[in-house]
Amino acid sequence: MKRGIVVFLPVCMVMLGVCVSLGYAQDEAAPKGVSVTVTGVNYCLLDALAKDKAGDANPNYAVLNALRVQEALGADGAIEDLVGKTLHYVPTKESEPLLVGQENQGLSFTVRGLWFKDACALLVESYEEEVPTNWVEQRFGSKSGEPDP
């Protein structure tokens, strides 16, 4: 019995040390976001990437949106590498109206928040809809007011 305790106790101490060091390593490796202002179009991921699978999709996930970047500004100016890319919203209360639902699909937004480059993710702090200069073009697709064929 005594011998079992002598072996068990050091093993437990080593395990505890490993767990504590892993916890510190994860804290140090936590990604840091970069403050950005991004303008882009909110779009439905399923419709854009796998429309033929829409009938099979769980309805809760079939309406998830992302932001296709048209312009990105950081503290040092424009972030050209981000233009044309898709950013996925980190699911928070602030991002919920953009992330879920059809109401905001196809609309342009300016979003302020933290960009996590390696995750292609955006933590929304605030957002506002971009009002088109020509509402006819926004709604109908042409300046003449005639719907596109």
Please check whether residue 13 lies inside any domain of the structure: no
CATH assignment of the domain containing 116: 2.40.50
Question: pLDDT tens, 14-51?
Answer: 455 555 555 545 556 778 999 999 999 999 998 999 88
Looking at 4-18, 33-47, 61-75, 100-114, which range is the least confident one? 4-18
Task: Look at the chain and report how many structural domains it folds into.
Answer: 1
Looking at 52-56, 114-118, 141-145, which range is the least confident one? 141-145
Q: Can you give the residue range of the structural domain that contains 53?
A: 34-132
Please check whether residue 73 lies inside any domain of the structure: yes
Q: Compute the average pLDDT of residues 64-68.
A: 96
Please check whether residue 3 lies inside any domain of the structure: no
Please check whether residue 145 lies inside any domain of the structure: no
Please say whether the dihedral angle defined by the alpha carbons of residues 112, 113, 116 and 119, taken in this order, is positive or negative: negative
Residue at 65: amino acid letter:
N
CA angle in degrees (0–180, nearest 5) for 50-79-47: 10
Please check whether residue 99 lies inside any domain of the structure: yes
Question: What's this model's pTM, rounded to 2 decimal places?
Answer: 0.69
Q: Compute the average pLDDT of residues 51-79.
A: 90
Per-residue confidence (pLDDT) for residue 128, from 0 to 100: 96
Please say whether the dihedral angle defined by the alpha carbons of residues 90, 93, 94 and 98, taken in this order, is positive or negative: positive
Which token pair is 147?
A: 């719907």
Please check whether residue 110 lies inside any domain of the structure: yes
The answer to whether residues 102 and 44 touch, using CB atoms and an 8 Å cutoff, is yes
Please check whether residue 45 lies inside any domain of the structure: yes
Nearest to 109 by CA among 132, 93, 88, 90: 132
Please check whether residue 7 lies inside any domain of the structure: no
